[in-house]
Structure 1
Amino acid sequence: MEQGTLDDLGTPLAGVTFVVFDLETTGTSAAEHGITEIGAVKVRGGEMLGEFATLVDPGGPIPPFISVLTGITDAMVVAAPRMTEVLPSFLEFIRGCTLVAHNAPFDLGFIKAACAAQGYPPPVNPVVDTADLARRVLNRDETPNCKLGTLARFFRSGTEPCHRALADARATVDVLHGLIGRVGSLGVHTLEDLRGFVRMPTPEQQRKRHLSEGVPSRPGVYIFEDAAGEALYVGKSSNLRNRVRSYFTASETRPRVREMIGIAERVRTIVCATGLEAEIRELRMIGATKPRYNRRSRFPERVVWLKLTNEPFPRLSIVRDLKDDGATYLGPFGSSRTADDARTAMHEALPLRQCGERLSATVFRSACTLAELGKCGAPCDGRQSQAAYGVHVAQARHAMEHDAGLVFSAVEARMDRLSAEQRYEEAAVDRDRLAAYVRTAARMQRLLSLTRIEQMVAASPAFDGDWDIHVIRHGRLTAAGVMPRGAHPVPYVEALVATAETVIPGPGPTPAASAEETETILRWLDTPGVRLVRVEGGTWSLPAYGAGRLKGRIDRAYESLREHRPREGRPLR
């Protein structure tokens, strides 16, 4: 019998040097937000070897709600070093150590982003995530969740987490030691054992593998359901069998999904003719059933619109419902705040009234301050006729549906003026308002290019020479099929059109489907190889001077901001 070496045994946990660290940041995106504090504790064999703690100047203002959460204010970081000074010291502190963090991908994401920005290679240290480890070791009877505060109380930490980096790192040390004590009884005694234990499928994943039995290897939608038949999670795949099986392997590491698998009792599948049909059915089912473990697309009805009302003196109003009342709409917006930003951008260029009352062409009342400031022609007191006011209404309608140039130029001129006066924060606010308007206008004009077409038939090459064929009416997928190689296309297309869903379009830019569905179809139409078979009741085109030509400038400006993270707003060049 061959005798093993000491290397085969792995590194005993008692001899591993861990650096347990935590960050405080100005937000959740490593690409867009900065680090305000780093705290780290170096331990080995249960003994503390050293600590690293510093505030960091993030290079920009700290949002008020972050200051309330962490207690770190702009005044506290004014004299703090920048990340360019802190990062080399932190990388030296963690050299040769195993990194530990609670929800490690979040903290490591910021460290890697900082390394990339400064030209350092990303750390290659082994990593242990105490949140992930806790989910595997503890059950709900012991702890209701795996938040750091909950685990610190469970393991009786001597430090209470308080959203300050060093205190949270110290609490995580106690949680780590508590978890190591628990996994020791499961045969985990080395660092290699610990990391392998985290990568293994959970007991629930192993126990529920039978749910993937009998799933077909076809494109379609899968629905995880609980014992009562409630949809827990809806997904789609071009190969249902492979995708569903992956949920019961070590490759599935998402905490929410693992939790969902523990509740699921069955997997229901709906086979679809094409991949596009699967995508569309997934969107519709998520919107209809609102599964608790899906994060996106659950509430398509919550979008809002900017409405140019249809009355003697129209105004811009934020609404949730589209009506067939002759009004013009811009949207959809994800929130009322974004819609209000776009409205403010339009008001900068167009002197539309901003009052909420319905005005009459014959009954007058006193004007508000906006008239004195030159922001409104005061149709309310008779100074501006309905015909004169109608000129601005026509411009607004044109800016919403065709040419965003008027609004773009007006807001950009104001930004230039504010920047020249060194009022950078105000310029940045205007920049965000302009972005809300331009991006939404570009999106809506792209949607309108398809939703105004009564019927479109398009095809794309599939496997083995087959063709995926889809019938689209007013931006809604109404039929999908696969035409076998060598089949005559005309009778096949005619049969598919004859069996397609009947669509009665409603009002607004999305008259028959959600914006997400129409956008999904547009993405498919843009893929290489797609052929238009038939277009009826309209032409597929975009406005020559539409908002799409300006969206590129907006996107480039924000990309520059992500790269340089300036304190001030910059003109959109």
Structure 2
Amino acid sequence: MFLNLKNPLVIFDLETTGTNVVNDRIVEYSFVKVMPDGDVIKNTEKVNPERPIPLESSLIHGIYDKDVKDKPTFKAMAKELSSFLHGCDLAGFNILKFDVPVLVEEFLRADVDFDISKRKLLDAQKIFHMMEKRTLTAAYKFYCGKELVDAHSAEADTLATLEVLDAQIKRYEGESLMDLKGKVLGTIENNVETLHQITNDNMVDLAGRFVFNDDGIEVFNFGKHKGQAVEDVLKKESGYYDWMMKGDFPMDTKRKLTEIKLRGFQR
């Protein structure tokens, strides 16, 4: 292994009931402990989350209620896991925004002290995004093999974008496009209508506060009602509409919210 380690490094990943750090639970964990001398210790287990696993989550990670009903709860394993992780630094992909907060929440619920303040945290996704820039200048260099002169001038950026878009079609035409969950959105084709559909397939409002779910229903994409149908929430909690309309949301978002509300009253 190339990494120079002073402490054991645990690379880990969690599968969960959903994406809400506070409310969702772990259904499987995998910890791979790499010792400074190069030894590798694996610890992978399924976990009973003590609640049903939503179907949309099961379709992503392949773990269903029947797979975890006889497994121990996280609380039952917490002390043993804390011991396994003692003195270890942590690493993973996108762990800073999700996996580490979820893990800490689970330990807190189990009344087990899991202090990360003295641990080193390595996020491979953050390094990836920092090193492989996602800017127009980087895209122009990658797709067109050119340096973008006068970057951030409107005309130079516009002409560069035209070249990048053209190069993308040439490179990817005929290939499938998947979202971050592995769902196939469509095939890259050389026509604007298809490209629009596959790159904006679930967009409701421009700010992304609402999205279409897999059934084509508008759902909240933020806050306490994330994943719930907008129309259902407005019927059950009428004050939420007033809160959003008075809040610091874009006018386009408020317009879409009103359209959904009025449509619901017409049914």
1:114 maps to a residue whose letter is E
Contact 1:300–1:514 under 8 Å retained in 2: no
Q: CA 1:31 to 1:139, structure 2 compared with 1: closer, same or farther past 3 Å?
A: closer
The separation in 1 between residues aligned to 2:123 and 2:240, in whole angstroms, is 40
2:103 counterpart residue number: 111
2:78 maps to a residue whose letter is L
2:124 counterpart residue number: 130
Q: Structure 1, residues 417-459: CA drift from partner, whole Å, max 9, x if none?
A: xxxxxxxxxxxxxxxxxx54132x21445688x8xxxxxxxxx
Q: CA 1:446 to 1:48, structure 2 compared with 1: closer, same or farther past 3 Å?
A: closer
1:338 maps to a residue whose letter is V
Q: Structure 1, residues 310-339: CA drift from partner, whole Å, max 9, x if none?
A: xxxxxxxx9xxxxxxxxxxxxxx9999432
Determine if the alignment matches structure 1 residue 338 to structure 2 residue 230: yes
Contact 2:27–2:47 under 8 Å retained in 1: yes
2:102 maps to a residue whose letter is F
Q: CA 1:337 to 1:89, structure 2 compared with 1: closer, same or farther past 3 Å?
A: same
- What SS class does the counterpart of residue 29 from structure 1 fall into? coil
1:97 counterpart residue number: 88
Q: CA 1:59 to 1:226, structure 2 compared with 1: closer, same or farther past 3 Å?
A: farther
Q: CA 1:335 to 1:114, structure 2 compared with 1: closer, same or farther past 3 Å?
A: closer
Number of residues paired by the alignment?
A: 181
Contact 2:205–2:253 under 8 Å retained in 1: no
The separation in 2 between residues aligned to 1:229 and 1:44, in whole angstroms, is 51
Q: CA 1:126 to 1:225, structure 2 compared with 1: closer, same or farther past 3 Å?
A: farther
Q: 2:48 aligns with which of 45, 54, 57?
A: 57
The separation in 2 between residues aligned to 1:101 and 1:107, in whole angstroms, is 8
The separation in 1 between residues aligned to 2:88 and 2:65, in whole angstroms, is 32
Q: CA 1:225 to 1:86, structure 2 compared with 1: closer, same or farther past 3 Å?
A: farther
Q: CA 1:36 to 1:225, structure 2 compared with 1: closer, same or farther past 3 Å?
A: farther
Quote the offset at 1:34 in angstroms. 0.8
Query: Which residues of 2 match residues 259-274 of structure 1 at below 5 A?
Result: none
1:130 maps to a residue whose letter is A
Q: Structure 1, residues 229-271: CA drift from partner, whole Å, max 9, x if none?
A: 999xxxxxxxxxxxxxxxxxxxxxxxxxxxxxxxxxxxxxxxx
TM-score (norm 2): 0.54
Q: CA 1:133 to 1:28, structure 2 compared with 1: closer, same or farther past 3 Å?
A: same
Q: CA 1:73 to 1:226, structure 2 compared with 1: closer, same or farther past 3 Å?
A: farther
The separation in 1 between residues aligned to 2:84 and 2:130, in whole angstroms, is 29
Query: Which residues of 2 match residues 22-101 of structure 1 at below 5 A?
Result: 22-45=13-36, 47-101=38-92
The separation in 2 between residues aligned to 1:334 and 1:56, in whole angstroms, is 24
Determine if the alignment matches structure 1 residue 437 to structure 2 residue 216: no
The separation in 1 between residues aligned to 2:100 and 2:4, in whole angstroms, is 22
Q: CA 1:71 to 1:226, structure 2 compared with 1: closer, same or farther past 3 Å?
A: farther
Q: Structure 1, residues 355-403: CA drift from partner, whole Å, max 9, x if none?
A: xxxxxxxxxxxxxxxxxxxxxxxxxxxxxxxxxxxxxxxxxxxxxxxxx
The separation in 2 between residues aligned to 1:58 and 1:128, in whole angstroms, is 27
Quote the offset at 1:120 in angstroms. 3.0
1:442 maps to a residue whose letter is G
Quote the offset at 1:303 in angstroms. 9.3
2:123 maps to a residue whose letter is D
Q: Which has the larger radius of gyration?
A: 1
The separation in 1 between residues aligned to 2:51 and 2:90, in whole angstroms, is 28
2:157 counterpart residue number: 227
1:298 maps to a residue whose letter is L
- What SS class does the counterpart of residue 227 from structure 1 fall into? helix
TM-score (norm 1): 0.27
Name structure 2 gaps, 5 residues minimum.
135-149, 162-199, 218-224, 256-267
Contact 1:303–1:334 under 8 Å retained in 2: no
2:206 counterpart residue number: 298
- Poorly superposed stretches of 4+, deviation over 6 Å: 300-304, 333-336
Q: Please, what is the CA RMSD of the aligned residues?
A: 4.5
Q: CA 1:47 to 1:335, structure 2 compared with 1: closer, same or farther past 3 Å?
A: closer
